[in-house]
Amino acid sequence: MVRYFTRLRVRRIYKWGGRPYIFDRKLKSYGFEYLNMSVEGQEAVTTVTPGQYILIEGNDDEYPFVAKLLKFFGDESHKQKKALVQWFLRLSEVPQNKKLLLGRSPHPQEIFYYLGRACDNEINAESILGTVHVQHVPEDTPFPEPGTKDTLYVKLSWDTKAFNVLDPVLMQDTPASTPPKPALPLFPPCASPTATPVSRGPVRRALPTPDPTVMRRAGSVSDTRATMSAGKRSTLEAESIHSASKLSASKILSAKRRGSAADTPGVRKKLQLSIGASPGKKMTRADVLCELLDEEMESEKVISLKLSSSVSHSLQHGCSLSPMRSVCKTPNGQRRFPWKLSSISLDRLSPTALGEQDFSSDLLLAVIPLALEDEVFEAGLPTDAGSANTPKKRQATPRRNYVRGQKATTPSRRKESAMAIREPALGVLAEEDSEDSPMQPIALTPRSKRKSAQLVSLRIRKQLNLLDNTQELISDGDDDCFVPSKKDLQSSSDEEKTVSEEETRGRNCKTSVRTPHKTPSKKALQSSTDEEKSEEETVVRKTRGRNGKTSARTPCKTPSKKVTPSTPRHATPSIPSRTVPARQPGNILDEARARLHVSSVPESLPCREQEFQDIYNFVESKVMDGTGGCMYISGVPGTGKTATIHEVIRCLQHASDMDEIPTFRFIEINGMKMTDPHQAYVQILQKLTDQKVTADHAAALLEKRFSNPAPKKETTVLLVDELDLLWTRKQNVMYNLFDWPTRRHARLVVLTIANTMDLPERIMINRVASRLGLTRMSFQPYSFKQLQQIITSRLNKVKAFEEDALQLVSRKVAALSGDARRCLDICRRATEICEHSASHPSSTGLVRMSHVMEALDEMFSSSYITAIGCASLQEQLFLRAVIAEFRRLGLEEATFQQVFVQHRALSRVEGLQPISVSEGLAVCQRLGACRLLLLEASRLDMLQRVRLNVSQDDVLYALKAVRD
Amino acid sequence: MSHGQHYSERFCHQRLPEKPVGMESQHKHLLELLRRTAVHGESNSVLIVGPRGSGKTMLLNCVLRELLEVKDVNKNVLPVHLNGLLQTDDRIALKEITRQLNLENVVGDKVFGSFAENLAFLLEALKKGDRSSSRPVLFILDEFDLFAHHKNQTLLYNLLDVSQSAQAPVAVIGLTCRLDVLELLEKRVKSRFSHRQIHLLSSLSFIQYLDNVRSQLSLPQDFPDTKFYDEWNDSIKVRHFSSYPQLVDVLQRHYNSSKDFRSLHLLLMLALSRVSASKPAIKPTDLLEASRVCMVDSKANILHGLSILELCLIIAMKHLNDIYEGEPFNFQMVHNEFKKFLQRKSHSIHNFDKPVVMKAFEHLQQLELIKSMDSSTAKIQKEYQLMKLLLDHSQIMEALQKYPQCPTDVKQWAMSAFG
């Protein structure tokens, strides 16, 4: 029976061939000459050498990814097998909207040389399925007659934008590529359990675009378009995601395999190592185990029972993985048994746990803690393979026995589930769920349980070492033996369980979705030494545990805060509500006015696509990486800075709701909305944690929060509006704001807004400006076309304006300030004017040029000239006297006394009764109050100096107009 | 209610007229605007700009009165009155707003919390509201320009920001007499302001001005004593006005000086205060007398009360001003000039001791007829402090003419070209 299952599943065994040579001394990576692949249980060995074309497993089993192998390399311990490749694309991998660029119908076997850089060219060697023959076809020659199905043709290259003729030079160094051997069947390309999750070495980091999270996302959503929130992304972006998906697919596959126990590469590594140590071993592990089982079953039971009591908790998790795994990914109806050794070894340890038939869906819970502990342990203890002891080893066996008993039920069940989920996306979803679901239990897991988990992992470790030593026991086939048992577990559980069920479960705990999974795997591989690893993992584990707790608590926390305001300090800030609801806009002009109000949130923000995209990408990448950063955004008022960022955040929130990106926290502070720069700390802290403290204390708390491993996993996006007002003499507020994101655990993205472009240079001292960095963006004032577009999009088919009227407004505003607020206000005023004049029967009800002109006049025309025109006679006379005195003095300034002499003379000329000095002063003061004149303080009396606030020409013009 | 009470209310307590005169379009504009805020919950901001006494507050109050007469609006609007002269900084202004809105952190008349907390509280309150459900708040900022001098213009920024975002509906109404008020606003504050300005610039003609005077003087129709009502209103008919060209001249002069209502009210109040039970009608002479009181030069009046010695010192200063073309002088110079006069021309005035002259000089300084030019008075001896005369020649000559029993030699000295 065991045979049956192992037959069906194809196991591939990968071994390095040739002599390793040091490839990179710094990274301690070794290059290898070739890779031997063999299917377990078969003699045939395929040798893959650099230069050959290879097939790499991806989401689509029918069409695996094609690439040219450039180099093999691995790390010191030979645990990881990696390869550098040059990708080729199938047409199906080209984004839908670019496919037309080809301009002809593609050959079914055609592939394209990939010239983009968005794709990580480093793959896990263990995702290689086999070799393939690729033939370069010159541009003008037709494709050869359909030859073997295994030959692919390359004619063009694809650089993410266009198809180009492929330079034959690129294809030249093709050694004789061997056609795939029938001995190594491509299909079913069952995921081999040994195919470790792709370990991303340091090399990865240098590559710009596809960060792990992008990959994950790309993989998790089959249609790249779906990832674009609101369809705002450019096609370029789409492309990059697409190509990223390619690379990631293989990784995702392995991720699926590892499932919740994903973070235990160490365990895996051990096994690989052992494989390497036993070349030529024909016997599968399963076989060996079964034999062992029979022998030792009796004696083990007692011990295993003992053990299981302490372990059972974590064991449950380990076992519970299976349903989801099985649902995972079976596009071609073939089962994939993505088993993780860690979980398996757990299973092995717990006969009792497994013995309980009623492992049902509600036990499908946290594996991660276990997995983690596991890994930590792994990392912490360097291989001490020497310490093998028999009792431990025996513990493994009883379960085997049990497993066998269960197997009978499995095949039918397997098919069922395979049929159930065809669509890869769904499979991925389920896969995510399995990762997510553990989070809930973590939240509840008290420390003691973790200790027990640790204990378990210690045992596991020893177990594994033992396995390593007893070489007969080890081979990858081992995994397969366990698969059915898991199947059984599922079948014993509720049969009705569907994907959607799992999906909902995943949603429930989505707050803490990816990060835990991502961080360890990435970080662990970054450092090659075990010590570092363990250190980091411990940190991560802590974070995770705590985070789980907080996320569990948050929902109840917020409402409780708002109840019971006992003292005025806890008063709820609110404006009393009105008794009669506000009236809705009645006519079309009302409607237009409501839409044109600056406060109304438009459906979309036109004319800021580029800026939107840039900010979106910036924030998104930071959120996905879990890193921090600063961005400085400048622009004159009314150019949509804050609105754009809010839009970005809205989209990102949406994306995170859709589980496309990790959740994050958005906090907004405004330099204008605080009384003192130091209040920024208070406000940030209050918005983060809802606690009210003094500024100093808040600064200390925030400092602690951002410099220690964050209790929150989620990234914080902080928007600092009106940055210039946070200036202090020592600039410590700004310094802190920009320093926090650079901290390792901060996960803080700071977006700052101010009006002036050179603010960092002007007001910031070097160390602050340097921390702000160079990620800057400036919002240009709107051009008239953009303004017009903004109004049109706001009006959104409400026909209230004549086209010309709109153009006039936008041109006028664009010429003056480019301030969108101003533009909208003028339009609003124009609708009012139109409404007032609507009493005329001739009016069409549309806002016409004349209305707009009137509104423009009202808002832009200087009132000085009118004011002079409406001034009293003595005031006008005084202005003339001022000008006369200025002319006499040749200065733009005179004392009141001097002007008053002129004034008296002028009034004599005009035939007016001269006024007294007191009256004259009163006249002067009135003009000064209007700011037609600028006056000194009035205590100077007659000696106060007088200046004009208007140009002399304007005064004369206004006075002349009055006389006429 | 006697007619005295009626007028005192009209002229001194600024009772609102039935309808604002000469500003119909502005009235309509403002009313529409506030009505939209009150009824539709549309946030707005507006500035009412006009010279002092042009009726800005009157217009606003008329509009508010009219607005609050509407039943739906009455209970649904929260007016907040602020004055730049009272709320001299944002801290006080915030407390006042919170108090007037009667938010929950107000107990009795006390507002709890620090400045920062108050701001956060108010902003939070406004943010929580929304267009359709919360009551519109009318922020009325009298002396709007003074708010622009607050630190960072925090209050204005926040109020205007609320008016431009989807928060509780607010209307920010600023009243100011400064035409350049927008230049005071910081650019980001300015951008948030809607740039609606209602200018109150009266272009009243003299005929309208006269009509206005008449309507201001006449008693309302619902005056209880009809006999008196008829007599009174008859006494201020057109023919009475036109039969006194002097009266028209006086009013013309007032009109030329300023068109605003407040100065007119002052004039009419002075005239009316001469009406008594024994003299129940207003006479043109009353108006003339009132006008004389209004137009009087206060400085010249002070001169009338000076002693001869002080007057002589003033004249000496006048001569010094003439000689040195307005350059400042000190006591020593004035004293020398005065001594020269005593030696050469004086027959009536005896010599005064220097301390006595000094005392007179200091008295003039206290009356602010002369003003020290140096800021640091402590360092320089009193005699040598530089001074300037705050009087015009015409004022001095006028005062000399009217000065009772002014010695002729003093007059002649004043009139002579140089000392």
Q: What is the pLDDT of residues A847-867, one digit of tens each?
A: 888 889 999 988 888 888 888
Q: How far apart are CA A400 and CA A247, in angstroms?
A: 37
Could you say which of A575, A819, A832 has the minimum Cβ distance to residue B129?
Answer: A575
A336 against B116, higher pLDDT: B116
The yes-or-no verdict on residue B254 having pLDDT over 80 is yes
Give the pair of three-digit tokens for residue B156. 């204005």
Give the pair of three-digit tokens for residue B410. 């003093």
Over range B158-185, report the average pLDDT: 91
Residue B351 has a pLDDT of 80
Name the least confident of A477-491, A585-599, A620-634, B270-284: A477-491
Interface test with A, best of B42, B47, B198 (most A CBs within 10 A): B42
Q: How far apart are CA A827 and CA A792, in angstroms?
A: 11
The yes-or-no verdict on residue B149 having pLDDT over 90 is yes
**Do residues B159 and B192 touch, judged by C-beta distance below 8 A?**
no
Question: Measured at the alpha carbon of residue B414, what is the angle toward residues B408 and B418, in degrees to the nearest 5?
Answer: 130
Q: How far apart are CA A692 and CA A567, in angstroms?
A: 15
Residues of chain A found within 8 Å of residue B257, distances taken between Cβ atoms: 872-874, 915, 919, 922-923
Residues of chain B found within 8 Å of residue A573, distances taken between Cβ atoms: 103-105, 121-125, 128
Distance of residue B331 Cα from the nearest chain A Cα, in angstroms: 19
Over range A316-320, report the average pLDDT: 40
Give the pair of three-digit tokens for residue B165. 């975002």
Which residues, in sequence order, are CB contacts of B316 under 8 Å at separation 6+? B334, B337, B338, B341, B419
Distance of residue B390 Cα from the nearest chain A Cα, in angstroms: 6
pLDDT-derived band at A78, boundaries 50, 70, 90 = low
Closest-CA residue of chain B to A677: B116
Question: Measured at the alpha carbon of residue A520, what is the angle toward residues A368 and A453, in degrees to the nearest 5?
Answer: 35
The yes-or-no verdict on residue A194 having pLDDT over 90 is no
Could you say which of A598, A866, A917 has the minimum Cβ distance to residue B199?
Answer: A866
CB neighbours of residue B65 within 10 Å: 10
CB neighbours of residue B301 within 10 Å: 13
Closest-CA residue of chain B to A907: B256
Residues of chain A found within 8 Å of residue B37, distances taken between Cβ atoms: none
Residues of chain A found within 8 Å of residue B29, distances taken between Cβ atoms: 832
Residues of chain A found within 8 Å of residue B32, distances taken between Cβ atoms: 832, 836
Residues of chain B found within 8 Å of residue A581, distances taken between Cβ atoms: 132-133
Residues of chain A found within 8 Å of residue B138, distances taken between Cβ atoms: none
Residue A752 has a pLDDT of 93
Interface test with B, best of A580, A584, A675 (most B CBs within 10 A): A675
DSSP assignment of A179-218 = PPPTTS--SS-PPPTTSPPPP--HHHHH--S--HHHHHHH
Could you say which of A675, A897, A949 has the minimum Cβ distance to residue B116?
Answer: A675
CB neighbours of residue B14 within 10 Å: 15
Query: What's the mean per-residue pLDDT of chain A?
Result: 66
Could you say which of A575, A817, A872 has the minimum Cβ distance to residue B168?
Answer: A575
Interface test with A, best of B37, B77, B157, B179 (most A CBs within 10 A): B179
Phi, psi of A205 (to 5 degrees): -60, -30
Buried b (16+ CB within 10 A) or exposed e, A865-891: bbbbebbbbbbbbbbbbbbbbbeeeee
Angle between helices A265-277 and A368-380 (to 10 degrees): 50
ipTM computed for the complex:
0.92
Distance of residue B194 Cα from the nearest chain A Cα, in angstroms: 6
User: Which residue from A258, A207, A264, A230 is spatially nearest to A660, judged by alpha carbons?
Assistant: A230
CA atoms within a 13 Å half-sphere pointing along the CA-CB vector of A261: 34
Residues of chain B found within 8 Å of residue A679, distances taken between Cβ atoms: 116
Give the pair of three-digit tokens for residue A193. 């359990």
Q: How far apart are CA A925 and CA B335, in angstroms?
A: 35
Enclosing H/E stretch for A716: strand A715-721
What are the helix (H) ranges across A837-895?
Answer: 849-860, 864-870, 873-889
CB pairs under 8 A between A and B: 237
Which residues, in sequence order, are CB contacts of B389 under 8 Å at separation 6+? B314, B317, B318, B321, B369, B370
Interface test with B, best of A562, A566, A575, A858 (most B CBs within 10 A): A575
User: Which residue from A36, A328, A42 is spatially nearest to A190, judged by alpha carbons?
Assistant: A328
Could you say which of A569, A866, A930 has the minimum Cβ distance to residue B112?
Answer: A569
User: Which residue from B169, B193, B196, B161 is spatially nearest to B77, judged by alpha carbons?
Assistant: B169
Query: What's the pTM?
Result: 0.61
Query: Are residues B192 and A637, on separate chains, in Cβ contact within 8 Å?
Result: yes
User: Which residue from A639, A600, A620 is spatially nearest to A754, judged by alpha carbons?
Assistant: A639
Name the least confident of A503-517, A674-688, A715-729, B77-91: A503-517
Interface test with A, best of B91, B175, B194, B248 (most A CBs within 10 A): B194
Task: Provide the sign of the torsion angle of the four alpha carbons A819, A824, A829, A830, taken in this order.
Answer: positive
The yes-or-no verdict on residue A219 having pLDDT over 70 is no
Residue B47 has a pLDDT of 94
The yes-or-no verdict on residue A939 having pLDDT over 50 is yes
CB neighbours of residue A641 within 10 Å: 25
Does the bond joining A180 to the residue before it have cis omega, within 30 degrees of 0? no
Phi, psi of A18 (to 5 degrees): 80, -175
CB neighbours of residue A711 within 10 Å: 14
Could you say which of B119, B299, B390 has the minimum Cβ distance to residue A675?
Answer: B119
**Do residues A695 and B141 touch, judged by C-beta distance below 8 A?**
no
Could you say which of B104, B116, B368 has the minimum Cβ distance to residue A571?
Answer: B104
Interface test with A, best of B89, B180, B249 (most A CBs within 10 A): B180
DSSP assignment of B143-201 = THHHHTTSGGGHHHHHHHHHHTTTSS-EEEEEEES-TTHHHHS-HHHHHHS---EEE--
User: Which residue from A234, A239, A208, A209 is spatially nearest to A224, judged by alpha carbons?
Assistant: A239
Could you say which of B163, B178, B297 has the minimum Cβ distance to residue A931?
Answer: B178
Residues of chain A found within 8 Å of residue B119, distances taken between Cβ atoms: 673-675
A82 against B388, higher pLDDT: B388
Residue A173 has a pLDDT of 52
The yes-or-no verdict on residue A201 having pLDDT over 70 is no
CB neighbours of residue B404 within 10 Å: 5
Which residues, in sequence order, are CB contacts of B262 under 8 Å at separation 6+? B52, B53
Query: From the centroid of its chain, how far is CA A837?
Result: 53
Residues of chain A found within 8 Å of residue B264, distances taken between Cβ atoms: none
Phi, psi of A575 (to 5 degrees): -95, 135
Residue A750 has a pLDDT of 92
The yes-or-no verdict on residue A731 having pLDDT over 80 is yes
- Of the segments A567-571, A825-829, B246-250, B402-406, which one has the largest average pLDDT value? A825-829
Closest-CA residue of chain B to A900: B392
Could you say which of B154, B256, B297 has the minimum Cβ distance to residue A918?
Answer: B297
Enclosing H/E stretch for B249: helix B245-257
**Do residues A660 and A217 touch, judged by C-beta distance below 8 A?**
yes
Distance of residue A704 Cα from the nearest chain B Cα, in angstroms: 24
Which residues, in sequence order, are CB contacts of B20 under 8 Å at separation 6+? B27, B55, B58, B59, B62
Q: How far apart are CA B48 and CA B195, in angstroms?
A: 11
Query: Are residues A917 and B76, on separate chains, in Cβ contact within 8 Å?
Result: no
Query: Are residues A725 and B152, on separate chains, in Cβ contact within 8 Å?
Result: yes
Question: Measured at the alpha carbon of residue A487, what is the angle toward residues A485 and A493, in degrees to the nearest 5?
Answer: 110
The yes-or-no verdict on residue A470 having pLDDT over 60 is no
Name the least confident of A414-418, A881-885, A933-937, B80-84: A414-418
Could you say which of A582, A673, A904 has the minimum Cβ distance to residue B41?
Answer: A582
Residues of chain A found within 8 Å of residue B125, distances taken between Cβ atoms: 573-575
Q: How far apart are CA A532 and CA A528, in angstroms?
A: 8
Enclosing H/E stretch for B49: strand B44-49
Q: How far apart are CA A159 and CA A248, in angstroms?
A: 18
Phi, psi of A229 (to 5 degrees): -70, 135
Residue A962 has a pLDDT of 82
Query: Are residues B180 and A870, on separate chains, in Cβ contact within 8 Å?
Result: no
Query: Are residues A940 and B104, on separate chains, in Cβ contact within 8 Å?
Result: no
Q: How far apart are CA A347 and CA A400, in angstroms?
A: 9
In Å, the largest CA–CA distance within chain B is 88
Residues of chain B found within 8 Å of residue A836, distances taken between Cβ atoms: 28, 32
Give the pair of three-digit tokens for residue A451. 């200790």
Distance of residue B15 Cα from the nearest chain A Cα, in angstroms: 24
Could you say which of A597, A923, A942 has the minimum Cβ distance to residue B257?
Answer: A923
Name the least confident of A356-365, A760-769, A939-948: A356-365
pLDDT-derived band at B148, boundaries 50, 70, 90 = very high
Distance of residue B18 Cα from the nearest chain A Cα, in angstroms: 23
Residues of chain A found within 8 Å of residue B259, distances taken between Cβ atoms: 870, 872
**Do residues A460 and A345 touch, judged by C-beta distance below 8 A?**
yes
Query: Are residues A672 and B161, on separate chains, in Cβ contact within 8 Å?
Result: yes
Which residues, in sequence order, are CB contacts of A226 under 8 Å at separation 6+? none
Query: Are residues A683 and B295, on separate chains, in Cβ contact within 8 Å?
Result: no
Q: How far apart are CA A812 and CA B210, in angstroms?
A: 43
Distance of residue A899 Cα from the nearest chain B Cα, in angstroms: 12
The residues with which A156 forms a beta bridge, in sequence order, are A112, A165
Over range A158-186, report the average pLDDT: 57
